[in-house]
Amino acid sequence: MMSQKVRVRFAPSPTGALHIGGVRTALYNYLFAKKHGGDFILRIEDTDSQRFVPGAEEYIIEALTWLGLKFDEGTHIGGGYAPYRQSDRKEIYKKYVDSLLEKGAAYIAFDTPEELDAKRAAIANFQYDASTRGEMRNSLTLSKDEVQGLIDRGNQYVVRFKIEPNEDVLVNDIIRGEVKINSSVLDDKVLYKSADNLPTYHLANIVDDHLMEITHVIRGEEWLPSAPLHVLLYRAFGWEETMPQFAHLPLLLKPEGNGKLSKRDGDRLGFPVFPLEWKDPKTGEISSGYRESGYLPEAVVNFLALLGWNPGNDLEIMSLDELIELFSLERCSKSGAKFDYEKGKWFNHQYIQKKSDAEIAKLYLPYLREKEVDFPLDYIETVVGLVKERVNFVKELWDQSFFFFEAPTSYDEKVVKKRWKEDSAAQLNELIVVLNNISDFSAHNQEIIVKDWIELKEYHLGNIMNAFRLAIVGESKGPHMFDITAVIGKEETIKRLEKAVHDIK
């Protein structure tokens, strides 16, 4: 076979917010395409108008853009195979449905929902297939004239795929190997509905994959049961030669216990299952998103990449470019991946450390503005450098650094009780004099001079430093003491010491 340009598609149905599992599917498609110099395509599968949710398509695009997964073609950017939204491709599908009818690979069925319900009630485990289609109202049981008559009189119908029973259908899956399914378990799937003049998911999906020259179908495990049907459809159309290769990704599992990760797990354990915040347009219900929760897109990408794939060694921190370099479908696991939310936080922590202080400072700015503090950017950068190792999220920076921006207005009572000794006030008064005499107020120099003084006076180092910290921070936290005082400066340090000596009783 001719070596072909890799083309993959992410083909979501716009039925709501994109679940984090869907984001992983998009990511793996992207990594695979870029690894092979191929195209990554966004196709919107919106043939089920009943389930269409306004805003969902825009949400999907915004989420993947935020994560840095750039499409080569799609509804929002066009491309050589446009249109990319199935509802804009309506006219295309009819002739493919007709071709299956002509070949006898599909048939027209008039059974009403009531008639189908009656059958289901009468026959246990009723399935519309080779064993039952002979008793139903369809073009196989009715004469040509009867069929035409019903259509002419405006009766609604569906087109069903005629699946031959008792045949082993093979699906070659890159991740799962050869999957064999007997065609008898499949039902005669509806491919087209006259009522809305639209194909169903299965038909539109296959026709579009063919027309868009898709080479690999990489999607969630929940679509594996549809794969045999898809193989049979390719065959019915005579497109076996160009059938894409399948790769069905493992499920994302609950963090604890068994089963598929759900939105309820997120609500229960307090983590988002959506990339961006989502407001349900019907109920108004708001679901949290990774972006709004303070995750860096790089961290989310890295975290998701390892949920179902690994590079074959214990490498964990990988940029998008490194992931592209290392990714392979062969290294995807068959078994489900437990959604380890704590690990997600760990990744965010790692990426905060990896980013420059300047970058983090910029992300910190909005939070500082909210607190109405206004400091020069290089000051903020220095502060960030001193405290970022203590946080998992940018929003946690304030709690670790507020004392760089404002003097304590009160002192933690518990700390006062424990750390403020009888002679603390007198000692800090002496410390004020010592500090006042220091001209080079660098952390290093302060430390040498203050420690010399403590040694000379035979004071208790711990007691002095604890009282000192209480005066400067207001509680017993923060980075190295002299790093703090070097940053806030001599004047501010002495001011805070004087206030503490005066205020703490």
Residue 85, Cβ neighbours under 10 Å: how many?
18
Q: Are 110 and 140 in contact (CB under 8 A)?
A: no
Residue 493, judged by CB atoms within 10 A of its CB (0-12, 13-18, 19+), counts as buried
- Residue 13 within binding range of ligand GLU, rule CB under 6 A: yes
- Residue 57 within binding range of ligand GLU, rule CB under 6 A: no
x/- site string to ligand GLU, residues 173 to 202, per CB under 6 A?
A: ----------------------------x-
Q: Strand, coil or helix: what is 301?
A: helix
> Where on the phi/psi map is residue 315: left (φ > 0), alpha (ψ -120 to 50), or beta?
beta
Q: Cβ closer to ligand GLU: 45 or 298? A: 45
Judged by CB under 6 A, the stretch of 50-58, 170-178, 217-225, 276-284 that binds ligand GLU is 217-225
Q: What are phi and psi of 256, to 5 degrees?
A: -135, 150
- Residue 12 within binding range of ligand GLU, rule CB under 6 A: yes
- Residue 160 within binding range of ligand GLU, rule CB under 6 A: no
Q: Are 280 and 266 in contact (CB under 8 A)?
A: no
Judged by CB under 6 A, the stretch of 6-14, 281-289, 353-361, 374-382 that binds ligand GLU is 6-14
From residue 371, alpha-carbon distances to 374, 393, 397, 399, 464 in Å are: 9, 17, 12, 12, 31
| 3-state DSSP helix/strand/coil % of the chain, to nearest 5 | 50, 10, 40
Q: Cβ closer to ligand GLU: 11 or 481? A: 11
- Residue 89 within binding range of ligand GLU, rule CB under 6 A: no
- Residue 29 within binding range of ligand GLU, rule CB under 6 A: no
According to CB under 6 A, which residues from 265 to 294 bind ligand GLU?
none
Q: What angle do helix axes 20-35 and 297-305 make, rounded to 10 degrees? A: 80
Two structure tokens written together for 411: 């002192």
- Residue 379 within binding range of ligand GLU, rule CB under 6 A: no
Two structure tokens written together for 16: 């709501």
Distance CA 255, CA 337 (A): 9
Among 138, 139, 200, 205, binds ligand GLU (CB under 6 A): 205
Total site size for ligand GLU, rule CB under 6 A:
9
Q: Cβ closer to ligand GLU: 205 or 446? A: 205
- Residue 60 within binding range of ligand GLU, rule CB under 6 A: no
- Residue 23 within binding range of ligand GLU, rule CB under 6 A: no
Judged by CB under 6 A, the stretch of 216-224, 258-266, 303-311, 348-356 that binds ligand GLU is 216-224
Q: Cβ closer to ligand GLU: 205 or 424? A: 205
- Residue 45 within binding range of ligand GLU, rule CB under 6 A: yes
Judged by CB under 6 A, the stretch of 9-17, 134-142, 242-250, 403-411 that binds ligand GLU is 9-17
Shortest Cβ 209–ligand GLU spacing (Å)? 8
Q: Cβ closer to ligand GLU: 217 or 320? A: 217
- Residue 21 within binding range of ligand GLU, rule CB under 6 A: no
Distance CA 487, CA 500 (A): 19
Angle CA 131–133–137, to nearest 5: 155
Q: Which helix (H) or strand (E) holds 178?
A: strand 177-182
- Residue 86 within binding range of ligand GLU, rule CB under 6 A: no
- Residue 398 within binding range of ligand GLU, rule CB under 6 A: no
Bridge-based pairing state of the strands 216-220 and 245-249: parallel
Name the catalytic one among 263, 354, 451, 495: 263
Contacts of 438 (CB under 8 A, 6+ apart): 445, 446, 449, 490
- Residue 308 within binding range of ligand GLU, rule CB under 6 A: no
Q: Cβ closer to ligand GLU: 138 or 205? A: 205
Q: Has 254 been annotated as catalytic?
A: no
- Residue 48 within binding range of ligand GLU, rule CB under 6 A: no
Distance CA 22, CA 87 (A): 21
Shortest Cβ 318–ligand GLU spacing (Å)? 25
- Residue 223 within binding range of ligand GLU, rule CB under 6 A: yes
Q: What are phi and psi of 383, to 5 degrees?
A: -60, -50
Active site residues: 263
Which residues in this chain contact ligand GLU in the complex, by CB under 6 A? 11-13, 45, 201, 205, 217, 219, 223
